[in-house]
Structure 1
Amino acid sequence: MKIVHQEQAIHIVGIELRTTNQEAFETIPRHWQRFGEEGVLARIPGKLSDEVYAVYTNFENAGRNNEGLYSLIIGARVPPGSPLPKGLAPAVAPAGPRAVFPVEKGRVDLVGAAWQAIWARHDLKKTYLADYERYGADGTIDIFIGIAREPLPA
């Protein structure tokens, strides 16, 4: 894990799923399948790259925890103010400090385990506003967690 300061808000457009942690292992894989089958990445005008973002946002208990309903929006980064194509939803990951957790390159099968390890950590003051996974075209995978400040000392 490393701490970075995301200088600007990141704007994403993609398909939206409302789910809970209790349903996630069933609903999220189907959502990813839909993303691929519908060719969503190709339908996003003005995308800044072919990187795929999976943004967890619109938490029922925003600012407190990730219990209850939340949205998962899978899509691409776009410039602020980009048009919103029919059937797609926007997400914004605000600027600020983030804890970044790399996942082994090309190992999407390890993302779920990485999230479980992140949830088990108590040294981070998570913001529960917008966390995201970034999938690089080169196979890199990083999970970005919004935090209120530097980690607490061990």
Structure 2
Amino acid sequence: MNASAEGEPIDILLVEDNPGDVRLTREAFDAARINNTMHVVTDGEAALDFLFQRGEYDDSPRPTLVLLDLNLPKLGGLEVLETVKDEPELSCIPIVILTSSAAEEDIVRSYELHTNAYLTKPIGPDEFVEMVRSFEDFWFTLVRLPDDGER
């Protein structure tokens, strides 16, 4: 599936506990005109519940892409990443780390756990929008993602 601004809306799971970063991410995706439905959870346990379709998320859609912060309450982003990538039914969902951490050990560990990309959040809103536009060009224009029926 190639998802783009003109195509079918994609389901994105944003795992982010900072309300300001949630707002900025939504605004950046809107400004980049990415046709999406963004689902937001604010901690690692809720992320796993959403992905495994448990509890209040038992009817949640399987996301096309996960944007995952590392510094989360209840269960950290690296633990979420490891759990998802170890689950055959979920492992093909692209997970992009979107975090303020530029620590080399976080970057290395994320790739060891099979993240698909590691992005450090820009400081300013204009830079954030530009990063999302570049992200859109790559992930939703060039990259082929599996159809929902193939996962």
* Fold-level similarity (TM above 0.5): no
TM-score range, shorter chain: under 0.3
Give the TM-score of the pair, scaled to structure 2.
0.26
Q: Which has the higher helix share?
A: 2
Give the TM-score of the pair, scaled to structure 1.
0.26
Q: Which has the higher strand share?
A: 1
